[in-house]
């Protein structure tokens, strides 16, 4: 799976952004990380990760994204990652909880 691309669409408010990032790490029950680009590599690149850690009888999930490239430092000015992270974390929790029942 590392080196493959995945396609997804992030819908937030009335807009949506489609992306086909490249998988950088895929370790079951440990980490999923990908690198996506806006327009072309080097303009604004986003390194997104989910890291899973045991926490007693639960699992702690840490989601993060860092940006590089010419416009990377401006990403926080026009991207609300908090709302997007919250929505994806909720969807992940709902999915996991539905599988436990």
Answer whether residue 14 shows pLDDT above 80.
no
Q: What average pLDDT score do residues 28-46 get?
A: 93
Share the mean pLDDT of the chain.
Answer: 89
Q: In the structure encoding, which two tokens stand for residue 57, read together?
A: 């009888």
C-alpha 66/C-alpha 22 separation (Å) is 15
Alpha carbons 37 and 19: distance in angstroms, whole number? 8
The answer for residues whose C-beta is within 8 angstroms of residue 85's C-beta and 6 or more apart is 63
Q: What pLDDT shows up at residue 78?
A: 78
pLDDT at 17: 78
Residue 79: per-residue pLDDT: 79
Name every residue whose Cβ is closer than 8 Å to that of residue 98 and which is 6 or more positions away in sequence. none
- Asked whether the beta carbons of 35 and 19 are under 8 A apart, the reply is no
pLDDT of residue 99: 84
pLDDT value at residue 82: 83
Percent of the residues in the chain that have a pLDDT greater than 70, as a whole number: 97
pLDDT confidence of residue 84 = 80
pLDDT tens-digit series, residues 50-97? 999 999 988 999 999 999 999 999 988 877 788 888 888 898 889 888
């Amino acid at each position: 799976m590392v080196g493959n691309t995945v396609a997804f669409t992030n819908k937030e408010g009335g807009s949506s952004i489609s992306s086909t990032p490249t998988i950088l790490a895929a370790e079951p029950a440990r980490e999923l990380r990908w690198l996506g680009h806006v327009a072309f590599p080097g303009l604004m690149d986003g390194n997104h990760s989910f890291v899973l850690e045991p926490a007693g009888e639960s699992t702690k999930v840490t989601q993060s994204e860092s940006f590089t490239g010419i416009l990377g430092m401006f990403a926080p000015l026009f991207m609300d990652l908090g709302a997007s992270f919250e929505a994806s974390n909720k969807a992940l929790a709902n999915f996991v909880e539905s599988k436990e029942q």
